[in-house]
Structures are given as structure tokens and as C-alpha cells.
Amino acid sequence: MGTIKVSLPEPMTIDGKEVRELEFREPLGADIEGLIGTESLGKSVTKLASSLCTNIPLSEDEIRAMSAKNYLSVSEVMMGFLG
């Protein structure tokens, strides 16, 4: 199982550290199965990003609070997983 790195257009500060890149593991079928068709696309993207982030634990609320540019960068990758 590989990982995908997402460069953030705007650095984030998390726990006092500047973060310029997030790393996500590739999802398993079970990660995606419960999301398709049951949630809105935005909620699915947020849940998936929260559960797949490996370098920094991020809650769904922290993902929602990202700047629009950062959220779009992350959501582009997550939507690719959701197909």
C-alpha cells in the first residue's frame, strides 16, 4: 500500500509546527465502501481525508477549517479515490 503526498498551497500551523505537506495512505475498499451514496460529497471527502492522513492526525473539523486553497488540494486527491 502506497502513500500520496499533497503539497499545501498555504502552510498550516498544527500543534505549533508549520506544515506544508500532508501524506495520505491509499484507501482500502472498506474505507470507501461506507461513504459512497450515503453522505454528501463534501462530507465523504472530509471523512476520507481524516481517516487516511498518516503524517499528522487531523479531525474532520480541522479539515473543514482549512483554507479554501488547501481544502481544494486535499479534496482533489480524495475525489479521485471516490471515483
**For residue 19, how far is the Cα from the chain centroid?**
14
Binned at pLDDT 50, 70 and 90, residue 50 comes out as: very high
pTM: 0.83
| pLDDT (mean) for 58-74 | 94
pLDDT of residue 1: 65
pLDDT of residue 75: 93
Contact status, residue 68 vs residue 57, Cβ threshold 8 Å: no
Q: CB neighbours of 36 closer than 8 A, spacing ≥ 6?
A: 44, 82
Give, rounded to a whole angstrom, the gap between the first and last alpha carbons of the chain: 18
Percent of the residues in the chain that have a pLDDT greater than 90, as a whole number: 66
> Does residue 37 have a pLDDT over 90?
no
Cell 460529497 belongs to 41
Contact status, residue 19 vs residue 13, Cβ threshold 8 Å: yes
